[in-house]
Structure 1
């Protein structure tokens, strides 16, 4: 059953389109995949750190049966792997997870340590069994379930690690001369553990991706205008305030503009509200093309009015961009028989250019832009004033 909130999401939302298209191969289209990877790393960072700590603790705990049960020669070799290789490497991975530069590559870090850990357990079994000590292979099964379900590895990484560790155990078993029913049963149970882990990990990542899309769609319901897909007024104010503070710290100029569709009430009265809605969607699509930089912001302010914020433009560049935008709307050639300024749909724009954001607030800049918009209307509309 489709959640009720989806009816409030803009039809062109990339998250909605991805949800409708599906993702059975556990891959999103375009930039969504990178966005999900970043989201997944943030969500599972603490889990992976916890898994590293648990792995270190388990390695230390297994030292006890090693010391109590293994012969001298075997004990030294096994402890060398546990304490000389695995514990230091896992500790290093745990420390590296706190570095922002490494955090972006969390899957590589977790996958690499997981693989080393699994192969290390293989090495411990090999060291014992070649000396005739029947160290149980079940340690591999424990390691397998550990990295499928506890580490936060995604499906492809976990599967690659799991089956490489399985292949490593096959080599160990053959090298120490295991054969017949013992070999068959060991490989069967280990392969079954990998199969269960693979299927379980697939469904966990599928659920994580579904949850990611759901979260982003709920955010869009809260932040996006349903009709145009632009930010709504509340979200614009919140995001613009953050950009404003950044501009204050970095000493960058800002351009704030209010944009109003000329004689839009008449457009609605003549062509109908459905046509009016479609006209606003078309205008919004054009506007988006002029605010694509990461720190630019654009929103539907209410009715037929839009608001934009442009970061680090000179005054001449701001005027040039807004004039080009105004001309692009006119070039759409959307017939408007009720307009007194042109035979097509047009925009009036009020610009407030803020060279020093530290000396002015966002609210004051919007007031200036509103006054400039009023002057543009007074001067005949289809114009830019500041």
Structure 2
């Protein structure tokens, strides 16, 4: 398996990789959510291999065309050349364009199946026509195409078996019932069937190990990106996702909301209720934050100690303010008793937020510092409240106009 050295795929940490690893996946199928992530992982891992394979295919295919000029039955030569040069070769060149184009690389999986199907069908037609004139016409080209489909195309086993088995059945059927060469059908069919079984088993073992490796990497990524106490993302994951989402927001001309929040007077809570109760309080607050971040691209992380961080993708100033209100009110409504807090009878939070527009000249690190500054402003104003950076500097109409 060739690995793309610049692989940037992230493993979603909300998936149970360990449970999937303990399950029986001998059928090479995961639960729907994990299967979706695996296919993206597999496509990225096999991209370099597909690029190399299609280059080799574009080089070898014309060589077999030259071979046909010398050994093809004269009455079928024009058909052979038409299949090779007018049908299959353009498809190979289109695949070459797809695998080397960033815009189309996400579709390489489907093009690989399409190319495999056309190449298999083309070779089978050529071999059957060749055998109708000369039983010694070489059929080994079918084996080469199968090796390509099973081991170089990046197809999973099911796809490779499908695009090779149907042409194989057609080949045997034509040899038996149309050409009528029973001896050739049996000998070549047995060799091809044995090759098919060997390729399928080998490809199955490769994919099984790849899936196993994927789950192991997912577990390790989960351990590296998850806070062990609360079960939500940690600061490392937040920093990585913040950069990734900001780049995506710039590409898509979206806004990004960055929030930092802190549990008020948490030291007094720990000192008086004990660290065990403090841990439980952190878990309850983290669970609430996680439930509030319902959208797929929202990120909630424990930033350190009693501090949390939130990323909100594609949100405006009005939405950011509503979200901050829900945060502050929601944590208060958890009604976690805190009899030693000057801010009230229950645990509360202070929140600082910063909205980043796609055309903003502010760098990401400065935006996080601005959110942190707003957090301290909220604390200075009495805690149990939020402060949005810049909201007090411009009228609402001006802020919305800018965005």
Q: TM-score, normalised to structure 1's length?
A: 0.82
Unaligned runs of 5+ in 1: 1-8
Cα offset, 1:302, TM superposition = 0.8
Give the distance between the partners of 1:146 and 1:169, measured in 2 at CA: 18
Aligned to 1:178: 181
**Residue 228 (structure 1) aligned with residue 233 (structure 2):** no
Of 189, 193, 196, the match for 1:194: 196
The alpha-carbon deviation at position 150 of structure 1 amounts to 1.7
CA distance in 2, matches of 1:355, 1:68: 66
- Secondary structure of the structure 1 residue equivalent to 2:292: coil
2:174 counterpart SS class: helix
Kept in 1, the 8 Å contact 2:98–2:108? The answer is no
CA distance in 2, matches of 1:338, 1:108: 62
Contact map agreement 1:12 1:229 (CA 8 A) in 2: no
Describe the shift of the 1:263–1:37 C-alpha distance in structure 2 as closer, same or farther (beyond 3 A): same
Decide whether aligned partners of structure 1 residues 76 and 363 sit closer, same or farther in structure 2, where only a CA change above 3 A counts: closer
**Which stretch of structure 1 is more off in the superposition, 213-222 or 152-161?**
213-222
Q: Following TM superposition, by how much is the alpha carbon of 1:51 offset from its aligned partner in structure 2, in angstroms? A: 1.9
5 Å-filtered alignment, 1:321-340, equals 321-340=323-342
1:144 and 2:138 aligned: no
CA distance in 2 between partners of 1:85 and 1:204 (Å): 31
* Other-structure match for 2:310: 308
1:87 aligns with 2:115: no
How far 1:151 moved relative to its partner? Answer: 1.4
Tell me: CA distance 1:277–1:190, structure 2 relative to 1, closer, same or farther (3 Å).
farther
Distance 2:90 2:356 in 1: 55
Measured on the aligned residues, the alpha-carbon RMSD in Å equals: 3.3
SS of residue matched to 2:262: strand
Identify if the C-alpha distance between structure 1 residues 268 and 173 changes in structure 2 by more than 3 Å, giving closer, same or farther: farther
In structure 1, the partner of 2:58 is 56
Structure 1 stretch displaced more, 192-201 or 204-213: 204-213
Which residue does 2:393 correspond to in 1? none
State TM-score, norm by structure 2.
Answer: 0.79
What is the rounded CA distance, in whole Å, between the counterparts of 1:354 and 1:54 in structure 2? 47
Matched, 1:263 2:246: no
Q: Which moved more, 1:263-272 or 1:242-251?
A: 242-251
**After the TM superposition, which of the residue ranges 183-192 and 333-342 deviates more from structure 2?**
333-342
Matches within 5 A, 1:60-209: 60-100=62-102, 102-174=104-176, 175-180=178-183, 182-209=184-211
1:285 aligns with 2:291: no
> For residues 41 and 348 of structure 1, what CA distance do their matches in structure 2 show?
43
- Please state whether the residue corresponding to 1:260 is helix, strand or coil: strand
Question: In 1, are the aligned partners of 2:120 and 2:142 still within 8 Å (CA)?
Answer: yes
| C-alpha distance in structure 1 between counterparts of 2:247 and 2:201, whole Å | 47
